[in-house]
Structure 1
Amino acid sequence: MDTLLLHCPSMTKRPCCSSPSNPRVSKLDRMDRLLESFLDLSDSSTLSLDLSFDRLLESRACDSDQNDMIERALRLGSVLLEAGKRSARKRASMHNAVVWALSPDLTIKVFSMLDTQSVCYAAATCSLFQKCAMDPSCYADIDLRTVVPKVNNVVVSTMVQRAGKSLQSLKLGIVPGPTASPGSSQPLVYTIRNSADASGFSWNDKRSRQGKESSILTRSCLNPLGGDNGAPGFLLRRLHLYNIERMDNAALCAALSFCPSLLDLEIVGLHVELRQTLESVSRHCHLIERLFFESSKTGRDDSLKLPTCSDLVNNCPHITSLALRGFKLHDYKARVLVKGFRKLKYMDFSTSYSITGAFLRNLGGSAGGNLLEVLILRDCMHLKELEVARSLTAVIAGDFKLLRHLDISNREGLASEGDWYNRCYNLSNIPVKQLLEERPDFCLLAEFPAEGSFVEIEQMIGSDINSDISLPSPLSSHTSDGSLFISSSESNYSSDQGSGNEDSRDHSFVVYEESSDEVDIMPG
């Protein structure tokens, strides 16, 4: 091998800097010269190198020696390959840093405007972007919602730790897709049953799907909010949680205790109790303005008590939007909530099992409910025709002056006074004409099945069927004069059908460790 080095043209021009007094330098220099001799080989010499390796391999008489030589050749090739890739990345990063038009602070500003997945994709491109994407402001609004379970606790913890005190919003869980909240002033809401896109998604479908694939988010996924003495959760403004099967009361309440600045809480499909959740909100989240809670067990949760309602009203006076969907909520409890919240504008008690509508009596004036703009009582099984008529009469008389949207749609029709087994499938006894004359801008949604086509209520009580909530958009719900939507056709009413609308995009999140040059891709 020394003879080969002496006849290498590049080596004859390179002075020897080794010294017998420094054997380490001599060894490194010899390694450099050896590597340089290999790298100086021309493309035409690669065949000779291949033949030379075969000859050396054949010169080993023992199989174990031949195997050892092959292993060492593979290891050497792998080391050279990785060294070349690492150097290429470093040079590419230096090149990007030179030609990239934006300064690091502006780059970070741009990244902070991107969604979480886009930030992860940007960080995967080069070291320059990776360093910029490590800034806490890039993770102020963490959105790790997916269509299928992919995000685990490690990803959540990594993102929250990066955000630190900059964390403003955290959204986790499994959703069928992004949907708007029709008929409300609410921003984009990811829920199971309140949009045209996802109106066919039923809880029965959800159960069958969950039997085949379980979420990899566990009850401890929110623990990072309490890290660093609660710093990440202290300034959190928005927390949205969807269909995290393993979340329980203790874990959720512990997480809420770290969020005193919370303004917006949305919970869909979690196996947590209404009373305990509202008690925790009342105890820790005094600034909350929007509370959206949809039960995972429609009509079964009867845990809410009057003291809890009173505490929530007294401790959370800033609530303007309240949705308690799918709970066994009685009128006297609903009345305490509506009357107590003096800033309430949006209210949704859809699929509340026990509500009759009596809670609305005398609430349209100064006694509470006078600021109400949107009222949704969709699929409330006990909602009475008489109470609806009384409420609309109060609107005609001048109460509920700001109310502009009322949804009384019901897949079982409205209940008759005195006997809720007798159902009403039209608005013949409700003063709709007078209402539209007094309030031409009023939007009334009253979508019923055709009379005689509804399933016997006794069968529904004894089964595990849960009703879908499908809130049509006010724009598409108006008649030609833009004032009313009434449907008696069952074909127009969303029932328990498969959604067929799952987003097929592959959501994945790339997570980097700052202490390593390598990239760890976390399936997300």
Structure 2
Amino acid sequence: MDPLCFADIDLATLVPKVNNAVVSTMINRAGGYLRWSLKLGILPSIPAPPFFSSEPLVYSIRNANDASSISWNEKRSRQGKDSSILTRSCLSSLSGNGGAPGAHLRRLHLFNIERMDNTALSAALSACPSLLDLEIVGLHVELRHTLESISGNCPLIERLVFESSKTGRDDGLKYPTCNEFVLNCPNITTLALKGFKLHDYKARMLVKGLRKLKHIDLSTSYSFTGAFLKSVGANGGGDHLEVMILRDCMHLKEIEVERFMVAVLAGEFKLLRHLDISNREGLACEGDWSNRCYSASFIPIKQLLEQRPDFCLVAEFPKGSYIEMEQMTASDMSLLSQSSSHTSDQSVFMSTSDGSYNSDYGSVNEDSRENGYVMYEENSD
């Protein structure tokens, strides 16, 4: 019954085990001592491994049916009995007792809570003014409403990870919301917005406006071509970027990536050490995004390695049937062999020909990252 025992609450599970009553009981027991974290919902069946930090940059999105063997009809039939279903009011206790329970909460992670909506999430965020870390995966909430709630209630936030539950269909983010977000949340260092429709001007506003941004992940985003990259270098807002993941971005153009790499070789983005441009559909060619490029040969690999020995470029394409190694040094090849022998489930170079290409996250073998070499796959044609 000691409130200090509930300063850090983790109720996230792989199968539904927790209902509103359990959440409410633990939050009420914590009272004003809920100071560290609250994690809730159905975890992805295979969470992403750590990415450059003790915390994963992103989780792999799964809906509740994927994450458990219990069907939606089975869940519905259990309601009112031994239900383990969380509803939209599962976080209402954060606002109880004058808002004391949520007042000092620093980390809130929510996974695949099917019935959470915009109103319920906004109410929860309004009770958490001290929030530093927010992760939202698989909730049926909109980007615009969520960013408005964050900018209005969580000015201290440093890390935001948000994966759309309806990839490519959320196009509600507008200029005023972007502007308010970057003005009211200046401390963000990690931003992951996956699966949303983001035009170049929106991506540019986020990267340029968030002056402390170090990690950016826009994987599986639609609409932007990468044109925003040319305006965020040379003191344009990307000065602090260390990690950029643009994996499986349907409209990302080869020419824009090429221009970006020219800027990197010219000395811009000095702190950038990891870039992922992998794409299961290939990069879009100039003039017609439906015409795809499955090669990273336009990037001067050898020059990049010479100038930035700690740089890691990941460019995996599913049409590739072999790994281009011509521009790797002998030491690189030796390192690749050593690294691969240390990896059981996933090699440094994922073989796209046997279906192991993974678009959920940009993970990199630890040995390869520390020794800094470039990884890419090409089409045998």
Q: Same fold by TM (over 0.5)?
A: yes
| Match of residue 185 from structure 2 | 316
> Does 2:355 align with 1:486?
no
Q: How far off its partner does 1:469 sit?
A: 2.6
Contact 1:182-1:471 within 8 A present in 2 as well = no
| Match of residue 297 from structure 1 | 166
Tell me, in whole angstroms, the C-alpha distance in 2 between the residues paired with 1:433 and 1:202: 42
Q: Provide Cα deviations, 1:352-391, integer angstroms capped at 9, x if missing partner.
A: 0112111111312212010000000000000100111111
| Match of residue 121 from structure 1 | none
Tell me, in whole angstroms, the C-alpha distance in 2 between the residues paired with 1:266 and 1:177: 17
Q: How far off its partner does 1:413 sit?
A: 0.4
> Does 2:346 align with 1:475?
no
Distance 1:261 1:218, change over 3 A: same
Contact 1:477-1:484 within 8 A present in 2 as well = no
- Of 269-278 and 480-489, more deviation after overlay is shown by 480-489
Distance 1:480 1:263, change over 3 A: closer
Tell me, in whole angstroms, the C-alpha distance in 2 between the residues paired with 1:405 and 1:262: 28
Secondary structure of 1:474 counterpart: coil
Q: How far off its partner does 1:260 sit?
A: 0.6
| Match of residue 211 from structure 1 | 72
Q: 1:433 aligns with which of 297, 302, 308?
A: 302
Q: How far off its partner does 1:429 sit?
A: 1.8
Contact 1:183-1:471 within 8 A present in 2 as well = no
Secondary structure of 1:232 counterpart: coil
Tell me, in whole angstroms, the C-alpha distance in 2 between the residues paired with 1:373 and 1:420: 28
Secondary structure of 2:231 counterpart: coil
| Match of residue 77 from structure 1 | none
| Match of residue 329 from structure 1 | 198
Tell me, in whole angstroms, the C-alpha distance in 1 between the residues paired with 2:2 and 2:185: 34
Tell me, in whole angstroms, the C-alpha distance in 1 between the residues paired with 2:369 and 2:133: 34
Equivalent positions of 1:124-135 (< 5 A) are 134-135=1-2
| Match of residue 74 from structure 1 | none
Distance 1:384 1:310, change over 3 A: same
| Match of residue 18 from structure 2 | 151
State which structure, 1 or 2, has the greater radius of gyration over its C-alpha atoms. 1
Equivalent positions of 1:62-77 (< 5 A) are none
Tell me, in whole angstroms, the C-alpha distance in 2 between the residues paired with 1:150 and 1:203: 12
| Match of residue 324 from structure 2 | none
| Match of residue 56 from structure 1 | none
Tell me, in whole angstroms, the C-alpha distance in 2 between the residues paired with 1:486 and 1:403: 18
Tell me, in whole angstroms, the C-alpha distance in 2 between the residues paired with 1:142 and 1:479: 33
Point out where structure 2 has 5 or more consecutive residues left out of the alignment.
Answer: 76-83, 322-356
Tell me, in whole angstroms, the C-alpha distance in 1 between the residues paired with 2:369 and 2:123: 48
Q: How far off its partner does 1:421 sit?
A: 1.1
Q: How far off its partner does 1:445 sit?
A: 0.6
Q: How far off its partner does 1:476 sit?
A: 6.0
> Does 2:35 align with 1:174?
no
| Match of residue 80 from structure 2 | none
Identity %: 65
| Match of residue 120 from structure 1 | none
Q: 1:398 aligns with which of 267, 287, 302?
A: 267
> Does 2:218 align with 1:349?
yes
Query: Match for 1:315: what amino acid?
Result: N
Distance 1:387 1:251, change over 3 A: same
Contact 2:280-2:359 within 8 A present in 1 as well = no
Query: Match for 1:277: what amino acid?
Result: T
Q: 2:235 aligns with which of 366, 369, 386?
A: 366
Tell me, in whole angstroms, the C-alpha distance in 2 between the residues paired with 1:352 and 1:297: 11
Q: 2:59 aligns with which of 172, 191, 197?
A: 191
Distance 1:412 1:186, change over 3 A: farther
> Does 2:284 align with 1:410?
no
Q: Provide Cα deviations, 1:111-131, integer angstroms capped at 9, x if missing partner.
A: xxxxxxxxxxxxxxxxxxxxx
> Does 2:31 align with 1:141?
no
Contact 1:175-1:190 within 8 A present in 2 as well = no
> Does 2:157 align with 1:288?
yes
